[in-house]
Amino acid sequence: MICILRAPGTNCDIETKFCVETFGIEAKIVHVNRFIEGKEKLNDYLGLIIPGGFSYGDRIRSGAILAKILTEKLKKDIKDFIKDEKPILGICNGFQVLVEAGMLPFSRKLAVSLALAENDSAKFEDRWVYLKNVNRGKCIYTKGIDVAFIPVAHKEGKIILPIGEEEKFLKKLIEEDQIVFRYAKNDGKPADGEYPYNPNGSFYDIAGICNEDGTIFGLMPHPERAFLGIHYPDWRLKSREWGDGYVIFKNMIDYIKKKGF
């Protein structure tokens, strides 16, 4: 069973549950308080998804409060989950939570090392974007994907690397094969920061990253909103049963089945 974590303000949990259960594996939406109260145990689950929304109203910073709860109240459980190499997927607000909790990009340290800041446009960006998969194989979620077309819906999605050490930090992420998706133009070439191809001004056009083991993946675009062919704006013109988001969820489920937790 896969846990879909929710908190006050989460609003993409039901859609995410639908995606997971399409593959014949059960998913359960669990409020974070159930874990804190001891009524649920994280390690009873095979995988964890932190879906999109506005957890705790995105007070302070997007994802900051839920991240603090996870690292303060469930730190041991989170560490065990990561150690067991169980998959963790963070979508939009979930990505923000993973970054704020230090689970990305370096989950072995559980220390915050980068940030997701307000979009350069200073407004909520709700649009379809192209993503180029630049991962060389570490990330378990994106195997078989070259260029994906998936929508974003966020106001704080701009990745900022440590000030003054951007190039050094970027080099490490590239060398360790931890950059997964980059915003791109429709031909797959880099967006080079050009708006609206890069919708938020994210450094190096980064849209998604994974941890050192490739088992934790965070991305700003919403794969659950590009899961079915009819989700696409051109669905009347192009016949497709599944969207690019389908592949991300399928890879996650395939990994779980292969590992046999």
Query: Tokens 């303000």 — which residue?
Result: 9
Digit-coded pLDDT (tens) for 8-51: 999 999 999 999 999 999 999 999 999 999 999 999 999 999 99
Catalytic positions: 92, 222, 224
Three-state secondary structure call for residue 225: helix
Residue 100 CA to residue 70 CA, distance in Å, equals: 10
Q: Average pLDDT, stretch 109-133?
A: 96
Label residue 171 left, alpha or beta by phi (over 0 means left) and psi (-120 to 50 means alpha): alpha
**186-200: average pLDDT:** 96
Find tokens 């399409």 and name the residue: 22
Q: What total of structural domains would you count in the chain?
A: 1
Helix (H, G, I), strand (E, B) or coil at 77: helix
Mean pLDDT (the chain, rounded): 96
pLDDT of residue 8: 97
Residue 131's CATH number: 3.40.50.880
Query: How would you classify the pairing of strands 115-117 and 158-160?
Result: antiparallel
Region 232-248: mean pLDDT is: 91
The pLDDT, as a whole number, for residue 38 is 95
Q: Dihedral, CA atoms, 215, 79, 65, 126, nearest 10 degrees? A: 0
Residue 261 has pLDDT above 80, yes or no: no
Which amino acid does the sequence have at 253?
I
pLDDT in the model for residue 199: 98
Give the domain extent around 125. Answer: 2-259
Q: Is the pLDDT of residue 238 over 90?
A: no
Cα separation of 222 and 237, whole Å? Answer: 22
